[in-house]
Amino acid sequence: MAAEFAVVLPAAAIVLVMGLGLVQLGTVQVRLTDAAADAARLIGRGESADARVAAAHPGATMTESRTGAVVCVTVSARVSVGSGPAIPFEGTGCALDDTRAAP
């Protein structure tokens, strides 16, 4: 019984660590998408969105594009879990551009 437990325990620990890593990556994706949506609304109102993007994830960058009366923001970041390779993530959000909307 002890030998079987000694074999199963490391495998269970690896599965647990991988599961927690995937949850962390999913959380980063949600935070980046949320930050992009907030940033699009802020830019659409003519305000700065730099602080919101910086709060989403360390090292996150923002690009914005405007099409007619719509402003879209993409927030990007590279994320690594533990000592693994960095994985690029991005989230996009769009909002009405009040600074260009017709009266």
Domain tally, the chain: 1
Question: Is residue 10 included in any domain, yes or no?
Answer: yes
**What is the extent of the structural domain holding 53?**
2-96
What predicted TM-score, i.e. pTM, was given to this entire model?
Answer: 0.81
Tell me if 102 is assigned to some domain: no
Q: Which residues pair with 70 in a beta bridge?
A: 67, 96
* Dist CA 72 CA 12 (whole Å): 43
- Non-local (6+) Cβ contacts of 67 within 8 A are none
Task: Answer whether residue 44 is part of any domain.
Answer: yes
For 7-36, write each residue's pLDDT tens digit.
888 888 989 988 888 888 889 999 999 999
